[in-house]
Structure 1
């Protein structure tokens, strides 16, 4: 019996747009859409300080963003999937991938994947990210790094064919290549990268064949900006850009809008939605709080 690489099911009753988009665009990178979601950070930063004191854990903006994305994919499961064999499939679990910067390894692309992120409260989620990040940085024998080290012996000309072939086996045929040392479904549902730690506020990252994730989010650095408040007065607020890249075959504007509204509501008012963030209420049960 061949072990599966991803637990997934075909999307039932796809919309006309999705079917037409599959015919209009042919491969990853063809239909990339870019969007910027500018968020107010003031309440989020206060909430993170509260969590750090309460949990004695170094919770960060990236942890909070990743956790809210997991909640969003749980609420809108039609956003949690991939394209394989020219069909759309939906994943059974929400897994969030974080790219990890490596000291002394300028171009080493590694990361960690938080499995079943929708079922982990912010404490467990952040602890998982911190622990796994430490492991991947401290050991060259970590599965994620070890699997990539094999590519050093592959000729440049052979790399495109090899990458597409391995991807075809893992996702089009859903075959686990763990026996080759390649982690199962290593990239998860969606990829998050922190460009803010590199001193950048606005950066778009490309989609990749590897992992078949239909979206990537780059978390920019926090900056100050004059904004008009509800009293029509100008004040200086701390802001953050989420730079989103997604596959238009998979996600249309309506779905993107729903995701953006939920993400914005929770991030900018975390105290009001703390039961979701902390795992006391599932993301699929999310409802918008009425404005006071």
Structure 2
């Protein structure tokens, strides 16, 4: 039994204000970030554009990498419903998209991102983002821009809570509002690099039930040590917020290692499917000579 005792202490000034503002922490969240060398990814971008006529963005590569990682760690591709974890058999990535010249924020879900190539992801995003920005997306026009745009804050909270309960707890998609099933996918990816931000952390969105939000910062040239030599490499800082109810350090570590391996050498995952061999890969060993009969 511990022998130490607690003794009451007096607080003043800011500490008294802080105690009035905040209660005991209740959110089970984990935050983290990783620095990723994207020098080889840039070369792969050029190869993809040369072969397939489209240049996926670094953010699209990051979303594809996260989807690949969740096929390796399926425990993160889940949602908690009625207090129980439900795994989904497809990884559906929600890519956030700015609309109305940056005045609003919405997003596009790429279904089954885990089984698609980055070229397929880029083409789907280009088509759906154009539809969203041109006013052709029914869900955005009816729900986010329509209902939400006209209601006071307290009513928005009630409406979104009701829609979330219908979608996830009862399995009823409110299509009369233009909503689609699983409107937020199973993981969210967003990008703040265009704002000049190197690293930031995004909140989990309660109505999405998504347990993981990944945020891409700027790509910055940094001095790093490679094979004992100091060299300058383009480094991307990616951060993430995780729901600790579904993911612990062991699983998060495996996700990060898988994302890193993909981002630092996309040839290893995408090359064969896209017909782009890794220029740094060792050639296959020659077969042994046949023995004379």
Compare CA radii of gyration and give the structure with the larger one. Answer: 2
In structure 2, the residue matched to 1:158 is: 155
Task: Name structure 1 gaps, 5 residues minimum.
Answer: 1-28, 281-288
8 Å Cα contact 2:186/2:210 also seen in 1:
yes
**Pairing 1:237–2:225 present:** no
Cα distance in 2 for partners of 1:273, 1:177 equals: 38
Aligned to 2:182, what secondary structure does the other structure show?
A: coil
Cα distance in 2 for partners of 1:229, 1:137 equals: 43
**Pairing 1:172–2:154 present:** no
Cα distance in 2 for partners of 1:276, 1:177 equals: 41
Report Cα offsets for 1:9-28 as digits up to 9, x if no partner. Answer: xxxxxxxxxxxxxxxxxxxx
Cα distance in 1 for partners of 2:173, 2:275 equals: 30
Task: Name structure 2 gaps, 5 residues minimum.
Answer: 1-25, 283-293
Report Cα offsets for 1:227-255 as digits up to 9, x if no partner. Answer: 1111x221111100111011111111110
244-253 or 158-167, which moves further after superposition? 158-167
Mapping 1:216-231, distance limit 5 Å? 216-230=213-227
In structure 2, the residue matched to 1:41 is: 38
Cα distance in 1 for partners of 2:89, 2:111 equals: 11
How far did residue 271 of structure 1 move? 2.3
Cα distance in 2 for partners of 1:160, 1:83 equals: 20
TM-score by length of 1: 0.80
**Match among 136, 140, 144 for residue 140 of structure 2:** 144
8 Å Cα contact 2:192/2:217 also seen in 1:
yes
Mapping 1:54-203, distance limit 5 Å? 54-106=51-103, 108-139=104-135, 142-148=138-144, 149-203=146-200
8 Å Cα contact 1:67/1:277 also seen in 2:
no
- The alignment covers a number of residue pairs equal to 252
How far did residue 277 of structure 1 move? 6.9
Cα distance in 2 for partners of 1:68, 1:277 equals: 15
In structure 1, the residue matched to 2:286 is: none
In structure 1, the residue matched to 2:263 is: 267
Pairwise CA RMSD of aligned residues?
A: 2.2
Cα distance in 2 for partners of 1:83, 1:221 equals: 32
8 Å Cα contact 1:99/1:192 also seen in 2:
yes
8 Å Cα contact 1:270/1:277 also seen in 2:
no
Cα distance in 2 for partners of 1:209, 1:260 equals: 23
8 Å Cα contact 2:74/2:87 also seen in 1:
yes
Aligned to 2:69, what secondary structure does the other structure show?
A: helix
How far did residue 199 of structure 1 move? 2.0
177-186 or 43-52, which moves further after superposition? 177-186
